[in-house]
Amino acid sequence: MTTGSDHLTWEPEPGLRFALTTVRHDRTIIAAAQALAPFEQRTDRIGLLLFAGWVLTILALTCGAVLHVVLGRRFTRQGP
């Protein structure tokens, strides 16, 4: 009995992609496929969320640095 599997992506037409797995069992080949669109959309959303978090972090750090400089000057004692 020869067994094994193959995994590949298939694009039958532009914009339509599938993940395909085939498994051989004796003389029978079993194939299963699933559309990749939901996974690609989820990956895009995660990338967008990560980018938004990065931008918000940079803004928060910039605001904190500006406040530190402004408040530091205001509360620093001036020498004689």
Task: Provide the CA 3 distance to its chain's centre, in angstroms.
Answer: 34
Domains: count for the chain = 2
Statement to judge: residues 48 and 79 lie in one domain: yes
Q: Looking at the DSSP assignment, which residues form a beta bridge with residue 32?
A: 21
Tell me the whole-structure pTM to 2 decimals.
Answer: 0.60
Statement to judge: residues 50 and 23 lie in one domain: no
Statement to judge: residues 51 and 72 lie in one domain: yes
Q: Looking at the DSSP assignment, which residues form a beta bridge with residue 9?
A: 19
**Strand ordering across the sheet containing 28-35:** 3-13, 16-25, 28-35
Domain boundaries, position 7: 3-35
Statement to judge: residues 31 and 63 lie in one domain: no
Model confidence at 1: pLDDT above 50: no
Q: Tell me, what's the pLDDT at 53?
A: 98
Statement to judge: residues 30 and 60 lie in one domain: no
Statement to judge: residues 54 and 28 lie in one domain: no
Statement to judge: residues 28 and 49 lie in one domain: no
Q: Tell me, what's the pLDDT at 15?
A: 84
Statement to judge: residues 49 and 74 lie in one domain: yes
pLDDT tens string 29-61:
889 989 999 998 999 999 999 999 999 999 999
Statement to judge: residues 54 and 76 lie in one domain: yes
Model confidence at 75: pLDDT above 80: no
